[in-house]
Amino acid sequence: MSQTSILAIVTIAGFLASLGGVWLAWLWGDPSIGHRGGAIGVALSFAALFAARDTTTGLLEVRRPDGNSVWTHGDDTEKFAVLRSAIAVMIDGSAIEKRYLTWVSVVSTLVAGFGDLVAAWIIRVTD
């Protein structure tokens, strides 16, 4: 599964958890639990951020066509090319993470902080 697919799933799960906490608070008539879904969404976004694939490990395993390591048998040009590629992969991965995790982190944090107030308002309005 690609990094984008995993982050899309985490983003959707974080949004659903955040909204689900407010929905359960409304359903059970207890606004004090309205923030818990947001906390779950924040936890999911942190887990996705910290569990992201480590591209530096692959960098150390790069092999030349003859099977030898670039780092022990390669010249400076080969080493530089590998470093450029690794940096490009890290920048791309970081941009993808930022695009997905920013929104779920912000929404989930707001729900974690104010979900009980939103749930209380919904309960008051719908009664």
For 79-124, the pLDDT digits (tens) are: 888 888 878 878 888 888 888 889 999 999 999 999 999 999 999 9
pLDDT at 96: 84
Cα→Cα distances 46→26, 61, 91, 121, Å:
27, 28, 19, 29
| Confidence (pLDDT) at 2 | 77
* Torsion angles phi and psi, residue 74, rounded to 5: -90, 160
pTM reported for the whole predicted model: 0.75
Phi (first) and psi of residue 30, to 5 degrees: -125, 95
Strand partners for 63: 69
